[in-house]
Amino acid sequence: MLTVINLYTTDAAFNLAAEQHVFENLPRDRDYLMLWQNANAVIIGKYQNTLAEINTTYIEEHHIQVIRRLSGGGAVYHDLGNLNYTFITDARENEGVNLRSFCEPVVQALRSLGVPAEINGRNDITVEEKKISGNAQYLRNGRVMHHGTLLFDSDLSVVGEALRVDPQKISAKGIHSVRSRVTNIRPYLREDIPISAFWERLKSEMCADRESCAYLLTEEDQRAIRAIQKERYDTWEWNYGRSPVCTLSRSGRIEGCGKIEAYITLEYGVIIGIAFRGDYFSAHDPEELVPCFIGKRPDVEGFRDALQGINAGDYFTGLTTESLLTLLAE
């Protein structure tokens, strides 16, 4: 029996918590197909360094959620032009990560709608060598959760901006996403239909050869999901703090001061070291500032807290504390 669950929220943290709840807590005597959408969000692979994958300034300015998922793989951007699907079933005996077997029914469904989709590489579905779907898996205790994205009518300009990081500004040991050429599904449809109709057609095709039934999350399910969300997906520690050691670099030339370079070392998402270089003058050695930054987060609030009560001009002649804050948080 295939049980179909539609998630009617667009909150990425709730939806990822719902995946975990279905995977861990609902009866294992059946398979599940979950269909869902997220409002603007970047979803980070479990083993990735969050700061190495996102354009932090753009993310903050456009209020984009950043959520880490349970599965590995690369970072992806979600908006309401993107559809997400999740298969949950028993894993085959002695089988590791096998994405192809789950991608095939999606490809067949897309082809039935006129989209010349193909499985490409280890985890992508493509059209004319352009990516329309990325996929990932999570295996635990004989159970597998396979999830994927479908770019139906996404704003591809935002995809490029949200995931764009200047490689000169960060050096990290995490696993970087492979940047792929992407495209939307909608232009390839035999018949142009809105996303809601595409959703229903896709669901129908994916359930065509199986006995299926719908399941609506109960109040008890929703309470359990909210608890998972609060404990994991709403937390900075999960979404950022799990990142491996990396070094951020910040630099700028400030009129009346000179060039300043800051090298900020992070572990588990917080600052464990900072070094300043440049052609500036100073009355006090900037190394004296290092203890102020230890343990702080590398964001505006963290840097502001570190510089509380500090007169930056004492350490960088001609520089205001606000200018130093702007440089560090760029």
pLDDT of residue 100: 78
Residue 151 · residue 182 · CB < 8 Å: yes
pLDDT reported for residue 177: 72
Beta bridge partners of 134: 124
Q: Which residues contact 91 (CB under 8 A, 6 or more apart)?
A: 139, 142, 143, 144
Domain-by-domain residue ranges, the chain? Answer: 2-239, 246-328
What does the mean pLDDT of the chain come to? 89
CATH code that applies to domain 246-328: 3.30.390.50
Task: Please list the residues that pair with 259 across neighbouring strands.
Answer: 253
pLDDT of residue 169: 65
CA atoms within 13 A on the CB side of 178: 12
Q: Tokens 């901006």 label which residue?
A: 161
Cα angle value 147/149/152 (rounded, 5°)? 150
71 in Cβ contact with 136 (< 8 Å)? yes
Cα 324 from Cα 322, distance rounded (Å): 5
Q: What is the pLDDT of residue 48?
A: 86
* Identical topology for domains 2-239 and 246-328: no
For residues 205 and 171, give the distance between their C-alpha atoms in angstroms, rounded to a whole number. Answer: 44
- Cα separation values, 167 from 38, 52, 248, Å: 28, 8, 10
Tell me what pLDDT residue 111 has: 93
Residue 132 pLDDT more than 90? yes
How many C-alpha atoms does 238 have within 13 Å on its Cβ side?
17
| pLDDT level of residue 291 (50, 70, 90 thresholds) | very high
H or E element at residue 82: strand 82-90
Averaged pLDDT, 135-155: 91
Share of the chain above pLDDT 70, in %: 95
Q: 């597998």: which residue's tokens?
A: 144
Q: Please write the tens of the pLDDT for every residue from 74-121.
A: 899 999 999 999 999 988 765 555 677 788 889 998 999 999 999 987
Q: Within 13 A of 80's CA, how many CA atoms are on the CB side?
A: 7
Q: Which amino acid is at 137?
A: Q
DSSP states of 203-258 as a string?
Answer: HHHHTTTS-EEE-PPPHHHHHHHHHHIIIIIT-HHHHTTT---EEEEEEEEETTTE
What pLDDT score was predicted for residue 166?
64
pLDDT band at 188 (very low <50, low <70, confident <90, very high): very high
314 within 8 A of 283, measured Cβ to Cβ: yes
What fold characterizes domain 2-239? BirA Bifunctional Protein; domain 2 (3.30.930)
Instruction: Give residue 74's pLDDT.
Output: 85
Provide the pLDDT for residue 102. 85
Alpha carbons 269 and 166: distance in angstroms, whole number: 18
DSSP annotation of 298: S
Neighbours of 322 (CB within 10 A): 11
**Angle, alpha carbons 23-26-32 (nearest 5°):** 65
- Report the pLDDT averaged over residues 186-214: 90
Q: What is the pLDDT of residue 311?
A: 93
HSE-up of 8 (CA within 13 Å, CB side)? 5
Mean pLDDT comparison of 13-17, 43-47, 119-123, 297-301, highest-scoring range: 13-17
Assign 142 a pLDDT band (cuts: 50, 70, 90).
confident
pTM more than 0.85: no
Contact call for residues 30 and 1 (beta carbons, < 8 A): yes
> How close are the terminal C-alpha atoms of the chain, in Å?
52
Average pLDDT for residues 155-178, to the nearest whole number?
77
Q: What is the DSSP string of 41-67?
A: EEEE-TTS-HHHHS-HHHHHHTT-EEE
Q: What is the pLDDT of residue 16?
A: 98
30 closest CA partner among 7, 56, 51, 4: 4
Q: What is the average pLDDT across 5-10?
A: 93
Question: Angle, nearest 10°, between helix axes 100-112 and 195-206?
Answer: 120
Confidence at 176, pLDDT banded by 50, 70, 90: confident
Instruction: Please report the pLDDT score of residue 152 as a whole number.
Output: 96
Nearest to 79 by CA among 154, 156, 160, 179: 154
Q: What is the average per-residue pLDDT within 51-77?
A: 90
Selection from 28-32, 69-73, 158-162 with the highest mean pLDDT: 28-32
Q: Per-residue pLDDT for 323 more than 80?
A: yes
| 89 sits in which H/E element | strand 82-90
Per-residue pLDDT, 268: 85
Give the up-direction half-sphere exposure of residue 327: CA atoms within 13 A in the CB hemisphere: 25
For residue 14, the model assigns a pLDDT of 98
Q: Which band of pLDDT confidence, cut at 50, 70 and 90, is reported for residue 233?
A: very high
Average pLDDT over residues 270-284: 89
